[in-house]
Structure 1
């Protein structure tokens, strides 16, 4: 493998790991801060923003979860 390709792969892996670690998991409303509500909201955001090859869907899903009160 060439050096630029290795750098690109490393960058994409790091970006993916960072995106996954910043996914919201706590709701500001204590009544909604449970696994069932989280799962329902996460599935709703996943349906609203389907997977894309570029990875933009992760950022859009995080924004969707933030709108629903998750941080």
Structure 2
């Protein structure tokens, strides 16, 4: 029971600290179609890993594409 509680709290903390950027600096690219395309490319470039490092890599990739 203790392990489940600790795991849940840790997961919630990590999820709260990271958020994928969803607003593009370029107004012409600030739409759902472009977001989905860029998001897909970032997920393909940085596949999911058990350690969770892929989330930071996805955030960095989206930042490089102009999403903040």
When normalised by structure 1's length, the TM-score is 0.82
Deviation of the 1:8 alpha carbon: 4.5
When normalised by structure 2's length, the TM-score is 0.86
How many pairs does the alignment contain?
Answer: 67
Aligned position for 2:46: 49
User: Unmatched 5+ residue regions in structure 2?
Assistant: none
Aligned: 1:62 with 2:59: yes
- The root-mean-square deviation of aligned C-alpha atoms, in Å, is 1.4
User: Unmatched 5+ residue regions in structure 1?
Assistant: none
